[in-house]
Amino acid sequence: KRRYDRKQSGYGGQTKPIFRKK
């Protein structure tokens, strides 16, 4: 979850888009 948290900042704090982009 930490590695996602970092990207979340750039995405606006959304986790759904992060998983797809990852």
Cα 10 to Cα 3, 20, distances in angstroms = 12, 14
pTM for this predicted structure: 0.10
Res 4: pLDDT: 57
1-22: pLDDT as tens digits: 566 566 555 555 555 665 665 5
Res 17: pLDDT: 61
Per-state percent for the chain, helix, strand, coil, to nearest 5: 75, 0, 25
Res 16: pLDDT: 62
Res 15: pLDDT: 59
